[in-house]
Amino acid sequence: MTCDKTPQKITKIFDEISGYYDKMNNFISLGTHYFIKKIALKSLKIKQNSYILDICCGTGDFTQIIDKIEPRAKVIGLDNSVEMLKLAKQKNPQKVFMQGDCTELKFKDNEFDYVTVGFGLRNVENRYKAISEIYRTLKTGGKFIHLDFGKHGFGGKIFDIIVLFAINTVGRCCKADNYKYLIRSKNEYPEPQELIKEFETHGFKLVKRRDFLFGAVSYQILEK
Ligand SMILES: C[S@@+](CC[C@H](N)C(=O)[O-])C[C@H]1O[C@@H](n2cnc3c(N)ncnc32)[C@H](O)[C@@H]1O
């Protein structure tokens, strides 16, 4: 059975887990997720005063990291979940966040220098529409970074075991089904090689790819 990814269902999941999202991320990634996000965003080599859209921004990790790397950049964080956005704003009080669906961006064509997405596209029902919107709103020569789970091999299996352990121990307080969704969505998500083809079909050109944790996590940088 494939995951139900209707926006209502996904928003409900993230609204419900928002309170422990950051803590669970630290636990299930054994503290690595923030460093990987930092390495990925640093590799974008963000230019001064650039305009950045972070879709599926969640609790605002990307915004926080971008602010440390290039404080003169203007970042907008966008997410469907109001509860996740509240936490993003608490972590980044000076920054701009808005509620919205990444498959229907309310921005003009060619507006952003960079569009970023971390562990987000995997949750979007109509991924093709989201990729089209990313392409449309990026300037020509602008860059898109996609960070998410990668290959379904050894590293991915270890991650599944850690998540199941987390659900049964520290995660008892969480709704276990929401974290079981995480495992299912990860295992159904195309591997990076396949995703790169999807991005290229939309007109993107691959600039860089880097894998972490035996390929379990991967980022790709693409240019419009
Ligand atoms: C796993 S979290 C990732 C959060 C953050 N980027 C990070 O790396 O920690 C996925 C986020 O995507 C958001 N999301 C899912 N589908 C969305 C959509 N269609 N439009 C906007 N946000 C969406 C969820 O509400 C959730 O906050």
Q: Which of 80, 93, 45 is nearest to 66 (CA)?
A: 45
Tell me the CA distances in angstroms from 78 to 52, 73, 100, 104, 207, one per residue in order. Answer: 11, 16, 6, 11, 25
Please report, for the domain that includes residue 162, its CATH number: 3.40.50.150
- Is 116 among the domain residues? yes
- Look at residue 173 in the predicted model and tell me its pLDDT: 57
Integer Cα distance of 192 and 58 in angstroms = 22
Please tell me the distance between residue 59's alpha carbon and the centre of ligand 1 in angstroms: 9
- Look at residue 47 in the predicted model and tell me its pLDDT: 96
- Is 1 among the domain residues? no
Give residue-wise pLDDT tens across range 9-56.
999 999 998 998 998 889 888 889 999 999 999 999 999 999 999 999
Please name the residue ranges forming H helices in 33-110: 33-42, 61-69, 82-91
Q: Whose CA is nearest to atom 5 of ligand 1?
A: 58
- Is 27 among the domain residues? yes
- Is 11 among the domain residues? yes
- Is 15 among the domain residues? yes
Task: Determine the structural domain holding residue 96 and report its residue range.
Answer: 7-223
- Is 2 among the domain residues? no
- Is 204 among the domain residues? yes
Strand order in the sheet with 205-212: 96-99, 74-79, 51-55, 112-118, 138-149, 217-223, 205-212
Q: Whose CA is nearest to atom 11 of ligand 1?
A: 56
Q: Which of 204, 62, 50, 221 is nearest to 132 (CA)?
A: 204
Protein residues with CB under 6 Å of any ligand 1 atom: 7, 10-11, 14, 56-58, 61-62, 79-81, 84, 101-103, 118-120, 123-124
If you write DSSP's letter for every residue of 99-137 in order, what string do you get? E--TTS--S-TT-EEEEEEES-GGG-S-HHHHHHHHHHH
**Ligand 1 atom with the shortest distance to the CA of 102:** 20
- Per-residue pLDDT at 61 exceeds 80: yes
Burial class (CB in 10 A: 0-12, 13-18, 19+), 126: middle
> For the whole model, what pTM was predicted?
0.94
- Is 50 among the domain residues? yes
- Look at residue 174 in the predicted model and tell me its pLDDT: 60
- Look at residue 156 in the predicted model and tell me its pLDDT: 76
Give residue-wise pLDDT tens across range 167-192.
777 655 566 677 778 888 988 999 99
Please tell me the distance between residue 110's alpha carbon and the centre of ligand 1 in angstroms: 23
Count of domains observed in the chain: 1
